[in-house]
Structures are given as C-alpha cells and as structure tokens.
Amino acid sequence: MPRKHITGFSNPTVKYLRSLREKKHRKREGMFLAEGLRLVTEAREAGHIPQMMVVAEGRDSHPLIDTLEAAVESQGGDIITTSKDILSKISGKDNPQSIVGVFRDFDVPLAQLDRTTSDIWLVAQDMRDPGNLGTMLRTGDAVGAGGLILIDHCVDPFSVEAVRASMGAVFTQKVVQAPWGDFLQWLRSGPGQLVGTSLNTDTDYQAERYTAPTFLLTGNEAQGLPADYEAECDVLVKMPMMGKADSLNAAVATAVMAYEVLNQRRA
C-alpha cells in the first residue's frame, strides 16, 4: 500500500488531526490521538490498531515501528510520513514523539458492562484533572480492575492529556461514561458494594471487609462526593491523615483503596 507524505501545515489531514485535540471534534468524529511508540505499541498489544499512523520522516529504524506499520496496513489503515515540525503542530508539543496513532474511541455503554469480569471497579465522580483520570486508569490496570466508570461531568478520557497520563492503560481498561442516576440504577440491579471515600465518617478504610464486586467511588478533587451521593454508598471510609493535610489527592486515594481491596482478596 503506498504511503502518504505530508509537507505542508495547511494540509487537510493536518487540520483534521489537530482538531482531534479538542473534545467537540473528538466526539463528532469518534476518534482520538495517542502519542509515542510505547503508547501505540501497548494499544496494539491490547487489540487496538490505529486507523491512521503518522510517523516522523528520517526516524531511526525500529522493529516495533515496523510491526505497527504492518498491523495498520493489514487493517487497511493509512500510514503518513511528515516532518517533526508538523508532528509538533499535530501533537501540540514542542518536542513531539516520533509517532502519533489515531484510534476510534471505545467507551462501553453501561448496559453492556459485565460486572462479573472483575472483583474491583473504579468509579470517578466529576473528575476534572486529566492527570488524575489517567492515573486512575493506570491503577485500575495494576490491580486488575474491570474498568473505570465516569460519573457526571468528568474530563474526557480520550483527551491527549488523559491518554498520555494513562501510560497505555486506557487501552486495557473498560471506560464507561454515565449520569449518576443511570449508574445507581444499574448498580442496584445486580451484586455490588458501593464504597465511598469521605471525611464524613469514622470508619477506617482497613477496618471494613469489602465484598465482591467492589465499586470504589472517588469524588471531585476539590469538593469530594456530594452528600446525596454519600448517602447512597453501602459504606463510607476514610484514610488516616497524620500530618496537616486533611485529604489525599483523588487519584492517590483511589490507588490506596484499590490496593486495600486487592490485598483483602489476596489474603
């Protein structure tokens, strides 16, 4: 299959790829960007082949790039070569990676989620920071969680920043986006313990015995969980704070909770 070569910043493909940095265009096209050899390779290993791959011209030869190019071509995708300056324009970074992959998004409808596939599920409410969301995806991958359920107005999990922060975990975890009411109705239609992290409790996170499947609910970075959301939880727990800070970073708190649940399962 012939390769395409782009030399101009005004090329329509460059404009299209740049547009995918904005949420409204990602939603319209159903596509998103992933930057770098490691991310795109981990996507392939998880079964996600880019529909288009942009590669820097004059790059050093690498067997992983050759494997990726063969995979893209076998699926009928496009491989484009261009300059590092144009790659920088596409990625929005001064020092861009040598590869950018264009993937179809793959968030899962809540009704199609199979809760029996894992004992641990992560749930984020109104999470606004892409770094936190990406870190939660990495944590989910590390503990073998089934996926990450995003409640209410969370940051886009397919933004360049969130995908980058996930270090490839966005391709290994199921991603679900749903309003609180829909999630709660779905959750109560089957087994599942909803565990909220909160300062409004005296229950230590290690004192509770968690039952499978456990849904770990973490609230907004600044506000925490709304009171009516806390009221719907089966249990509220908190982590001891021995210093002056009154709470942990949202993604860190999720990781602490996830490993406590994992360790109880292992024990």
Report the CATH number at residue 56: 3.30.1330.30
| pLDDT in the model for residue 2 | 58
Please indicate, yes or no, whether residues 195 and 232 belong to a single structural domain of this protein. Answer: yes
pLDDT per residue rounded down to tens, the chain (267 residues): 557 888 888 999 999 999 999 999 999 999 999 999 999 999 999 999 999 999 988 777 789 988 999 999 999 999 999 998 888 888 877 666 789 999 999 989 999 999 999 999 999 999 999 999 999 999 999 999 999 999 999 999 999 999 999 999 999 999 999 999 999 999 999 999 999 999 899 999 999 999 999 999 999 998 999 999 999 999 999 998 888 877 789 999 999 999 999 999 997
Picking from 104, 132, 160, the residue at the C-terminal end of a domain is 104
Please indicate, yes or no, whether residues 84 and 143 belong to a single structural domain of this protein. Answer: no
Picking from 48, 72, 104, the residue at the C-terminal end of a domain is 104
Q: Please give the model's pTM, rounded to 2 decimal places.
A: 0.91
Please indicate, yes or no, whether residues 80 and 174 belong to a single structural domain of this protein. Answer: no
Picking from 104, 130, 147, the residue at the C-terminal end of a domain is 104
Domains contained in the chain, number: 2
What CATH number did the domain enclosing 190 receive? Answer: 3.40.1280.10
| pLDDT in the model for residue 58 | 75
Please indicate, yes or no, whether residues 10 and 89 belong to a single structural domain of this protein. Answer: yes
Please indicate, yes or no, whether residues 115 and 28 belong to a single structural domain of this protein. Answer: no
Please indicate, yes or no, whether residues 50 and 147 belong to a single structural domain of this protein. Answer: no
Please indicate, yes or no, whether residues 89 and 114 belong to a single structural domain of this protein. Answer: no
Please indicate, yes or no, whether residues 65 and 124 belong to a single structural domain of this protein. Answer: no
Please indicate, yes or no, whether residues 154 and 239 belong to a single structural domain of this protein. Answer: yes
Domain of 91 in residue numbering reads as 4-104
Please indicate, yes or no, whether residues 78 and 127 belong to a single structural domain of this protein. Answer: no
Instruction: Spell out the SS3 assignment of the chain.
Output: CCCEEECCCCCHHHHHHHHCCCHHHHHHHCEEEEECHHHHHHHHHCCCCCCEEEEECCCCCCHHHHHHHHHHHHCCCEEEEECHHHHHHHHCCCCCCCEEEEEECCCCCHHHCCHHHCCEEEEEECCCCHHHHHHHHHHHHHHCCCEEEEECCCCCCCCHHHHHHHCCHHHCCEEEEECHHHHHHHHCCCCCEEEEECCCCCCECCCCCCCCCEEEEECECCCECCHHHHHHCCEEEECCCCCCCCCCCHHHHHHHHHHHHHHHHHC
| pLDDT in the model for residue 152 | 94
Please indicate, yes or no, whether residues 12 and 117 belong to a single structural domain of this protein. Answer: no
Please indicate, yes or no, whether residues 147 and 79 belong to a single structural domain of this protein. Answer: no
